[in-house]
Structure 1
Amino acid sequence: MKQAILITGYKDIQQLKELVCFFDASYFNIYIHLDRKSKFSSEEIQFLKEPQVKLITNRFKVNWGGFNHLKAYLYLSSEALKDEANFCFHLITGQDFPVKSISHFKSFGVAQMNEPRDYLAHHEVPFKRWSGGGVNRLTYYHLYDWFDAKKHKKYIRKFVRLQVKLGIARKLPKDFLQLHGGSTYWTLSKDTLQYVMNYTYNNPKFLKRFKFSFCAEELYFHTIILNAPFADLVVNDNLRHIDWSTDRGSTPVVLDERDYEVLLESTCLFARKFDRKSFSLKEKIKVRILNA
């Protein structure tokens, strides 16, 4: 039996390689989606290939906020579910890193096999901390798949404001599920992830309605799972340490040595985000967890 690690990446092949190599092939299977627009070379892709890596694909061009981000997650999920050995599924990015030891992951896996739980940070929508309650992510046309938000965010938002001014809004179907949202990243049991994929296959109009939405991946899994018969088994915690402070130059925060003690005391499995500025922090974490 194995835990599946689903990874989306778009840069820093060395960091991605380090993440892959943390998880050994005896207990983990890894599935990677590389952003098509990042244009990784064949040599870089070959560099990532390890026995635990079962899939490397660049099926979708992924823009921040766009529908293709969700489609990449669904594709990785469908591929990982094909292997009957996979019983627990962790969705992360190439800028994540584990903050617990392999032995801890194995103990977590034993607990999941004995009493499966789903770890998903969630809230009902409308949600007061989201602009427009979050419903406007679906009621207006957002062009993130057409335009790269890193270059053209102001024009994408101007188009939304124009729709508001003109009174143009897309209605949700009357039978649409009660919306729920939350953090993109999750740890799910096999039965739950299969339920999401079955719902997707059996309700193609539901998935289609998320086209031209904003950050669909922060709504889609949550809405299906929290409307499912087993919703009361969901733990409102995604087991990820993510610092959304606004006073450290980026959101989420790029972690560094200042975060070490917090991570040391955390119950999370993963933290994000890491980049080259996080080198010293990552080395300290590795010393701790690789010797645990």
Structure 2
Amino acid sequence: MSQVEVRTKHLLGLKDLDADEIISILDRAAYWENHPVKVSNMMSGRFVANMFFENSTRTRFSFELAEKRLGAEVLNFSAAVSSVEKGESIYDTVKTLESMGIDAGVIRIKPVGVLQEVAKKITVPLINAGDGNNEHPTQALLDLYTMRKQFGEIRGLTVSIIGDVQHSRVARSNLWALQKLGAHVQFCAPDVMKAPDLDAYAPYVTIEEAVQADVVMMLRVQLERHEIGIMKSADEYRKAYGLTVQRAAAMKPHAIIMHPAPVNRNVEIDDELVEHEKSKIFTQISHGVPIRMAVIERALS
């Protein structure tokens, strides 16, 4: 990592990380992306536990690949088959693994606020792999990395975040980080998907205005969370807020399409746009491993 002061080895969110620290992670990820060695022995003899108290496939695999590329020993822990199901607390589980000698932990959990409380009592560095609708810092970092690689810099970009803002940890982490790096963030969402806690930080615009941004970021819509109004039908959602082929045709020539995945095809984005030349969706996924390598290295260095 570059000589930026790291105030804490934990990575709990981007709201409290300053711009210099964010940029240093992006710079180090660029090193790893361009580093041809499939497996480095840099973290040989270090033990990292992936503690997933909420289901995940892509994020867990991405972290595991990153850890193994760094040469770390990986322990995978899934709450579905653990004593947490029998009533053990999340804190007790993390404390137990710390007592056994892990060097860092990657955690995904549903309740908001628990991770921050656990981190106060744990000395090994913890990395947030998603906590409720609070933050998902490594997703936002790989999004920033994708934008910077595409446009050269983030300052001055207009980024539209479209969809279920209320339940989105991706929207929150991106909002905090993009604004620190000088981007203009705007939201677009139906009333039942707006986040009142974010009203003071970014404006809401219409879908027609939203697709005029430099970056059009679609969020995964979890229709099961919404029982009222427009959310009754995936088709109605697509017509009102989806990135359709017609709407994509109105985008600026240089603009890009992003999505944290998994994608609901033909709901928030039309099937033929997922791998369109403007789409960076699979590029984003490819950036997850170098970003997470940089984050793990930061925790263990």
TM-score (norm 1): 0.29
